[in-house]
Structure 1
């Protein structure tokens, strides 16, 4: 039986051993920490929401390997979805209610499915996210927020007149991540430019 390597990362280090224990239910799966992602066929990322640390981890995975990513999270905006697709995420599951069987099935599916292009991944994840919200999150009073905390932080910095490099430094993001967030935010909300984005933030009470 071939050994399949899965890199694991979480915003909560105590979660990592638990996820590794779940993966051991399949003898062909071998769990490694994120620094071993270069040799991994898949990656498992767990976080309450998409923070700067999560973005950095996804960027690191995308840069170091072609691993297909299964993302466990309870908050995911449209902008997060597009970023996730660009970084190799092929499946998203609700962290708070996912079962062991669902998690293992998602990891095995990720390992067996040919890697789709980013546009196809985005379409797949959008459909999957809608099913997750409708069937699992909404009945429990959970859901995806229209404006993520990192989007609010970015809008505040835009209002202060910071450019892309300065925002990346302030938020500890890569410049690529900042550009992706801005692009996704403008596309989702129908904003024309950064000035329009700041005006939106003021009207919506972010500033």
Structure 2
């Protein structure tokens, strides 16, 4: 099965030790995965009671059932590590389960027949290098979901892919050009109070620290 790299969200310092927690569908698979990872430089295996601290959850099961997806969602909600990501090894995964898994932090899916030691370790390490891995067919599923969200949610509500409203993008574009509040208000024919409210609402809604952070965010998500 052909696989392609896809962008992930977490970036870790080169050479940093990656902490991994293992969740397996059967004891034999779990013990084998733990033994494999414990002998791998740069990776430390956490006990079950410290799962919430892990950088990566390695989930190895035969079938990606509803129970497995629900477990992954609980694990993501209980995690105390904001950069926690999931590597899943299974025979297959359905399209609807894939989307829920990605929402929970999935960055790599390995079919069981391809999941040798080298591939599993690479998937775990690539998580810290802004890279993920899924089969080619699943990349198509994800892209179609993005297009559907764009058509049915973002465009009808005047939002960009980064959740920015059209007039917020206009304000950010002028901020990026170096204009201040007064100049932006004049340029857009708004009151200064309106400009301040637009910026304040955007910072609060998207949890951005300041105007510079907002401009950087807009550039990263392709709005500018």
- TM-score after normalising by structure 1: 0.53
2:18–2:125 CA contact under 8 A, matched in 1: no
Tell me the distance in 2 between the aligned counterparts of 1:37 and 1:10: 13
CA RMSD between the two structures: 2.6
CA distance, structure 2, for counterparts of residue 129 and residue 33 of structure 1: 30
Structure 1 residue 17: deviation in Å? 1.3
> What is the aligned partner in structure 2 of residue 85 from structure 1?
102
Change (3 A) 1:33 1:15: farther
Q: What pairs up with 1:107-118 in 2 under 5 angstroms?
A: 107-113=124-130
Structure 2 residue matching 1:96: 3-state secondary structure: helix
Once the two structures are overlaid, the 10-residue window that deviates more, 86-95 or 59-68, is 59-68
User: Aligned partners of 1:4, 1:97: CA distance in 2, in Å?
Assistant: 22
Unaligned runs of 5+ in 2: 1-14, 139-144, 149-224
Following the alignment from structure 1 to structure 2, what is the Cα–Cα distance between the partners of residues 97 and 47?
A: 14
> 1:104, CA displacement in angstroms?
0.6
Partners of 1:129 and 1:100 in 2: CA distance: 18
Relative to structure 1, the CA distance from residue 60 to residue 13 in structure 2 (aligned partners, 3 Å threshold; closer, same or farther) is farther
Question: 2:69 touches 2:97 (CA, 8 Å); kept in 1?
Answer: no
CA distance in 1, matches of 2:30, 2:69: 18
For residue 31 of structure 1, report the CA deviation from its aligned partner.
1.1
Q: Residues 1-207 of structure 1 correspond to what in structure 2 (within 5 A)? A: 2-65=16-79, 66=82, 67-113=84-130, 128-130=134-136
Alpha-carbon distance, 1:60 to partner: 2.1
Q: Once superposed, which parts of structure 1, at least 4 consecutive aligned residues long, lie more than 3 Å away? A: none
